[in-house]
A and B are shown apart, each in its own frame.
Chain A
Amino acid sequence: TQLLEQSPQFLSIQEGENLTVYCNSSSVFSSLQWYRQEPGEGPVLLVTVVTGGEVKKLKRLTFQFGDARKDSSLHITAAQPGDTGLYLCALEGGADGLTFGKGTHLIIQP
């Protein structure tokens, strides 16, 4: 089973700051998904990255897929309290189910 490592595990910053979280694997993956999960809710898909070196933007969020397709990053510009949540990366598993990382718990303080 391919494992995903996410870092940092926890991050607490002030509103307006920038941040980057990471997702890494020892193996090449064909595509990677990023989710955001709020407390007491299910994960919500943010983006899917497929091509090595790909960059996708979603408002203040920038997602990057590494050239070697073994890593990905999520950068948030000018973080807001509404960005608070658990950020998960995931890839399609062999049994047609997603394999998730442990996530990065992000807190944006006003």
Chain B
Amino acid sequence: DTGVSQNPRHKITKRGQNVTFRCDPISEHNRLYWYRQTLGQGPEFLTYFQNEAQLEKSRLLSDRFSAERPKGSFSTLEIQRTEQGDSAMYLCASRSSPTNEKLFFGSGTQLSVL
């Protein structure tokens, strides 16, 4: 297994467009997390899944953000009507239960909104 995979690595879009990012976790990991990291800051928690269930989504930044994990394997994060302030690195991470298991991060998707 090659670890957590994120696609695309880079995305440039115009303001107002929709974007979707994909995350493929480590295959045996049932927990999947999304984070956002802006320049000069640490990663900020957005949402997480246990299998296909989204157990926490109140920290998503606005109703323009949504995430899915339909079959409990890969996940997608969609941002609708992008704004320049959405420009950031979007990181995905996965781990097995329970909570204190090691968290593995992907390399992230760098989003630039023009």
Contact = CB atoms under 8 A, between A and B. Distances in A.
B58 A95 contact: yes
Contacts of B4: 42
Interface size class of A (residues with CB under 8 A): 20 to 34
B40 interface: yes
B14 interface: no
B56 A97 contact: yes
A100 interface: yes
Given A95-B45, A97-B59, A98-B45, A44 B105 contact: yes
Interface size class of B (residues with CB under 8 A): 20 to 34
Contact of B105 (A42, A92, A97): A42
Interface in A33-53: 40-45, 48
B12 interface: no
Interface in B90-109: 91, 93, 99-100, 102-108
Contacts of A42: 4, 91, 93, 105-108
Name the 8 nearest CB pairs between A and B, nearest first.
Answer: A42-B105, A100-B42, A97-B45, A95-B56, A100-B43, A88-B42, A103-B42, A41-B107
Interface of B: 4, 31, 33, 35, 40-46, 48, 55-56, 58-59, 91, 93, 99-100, 102-108, 110
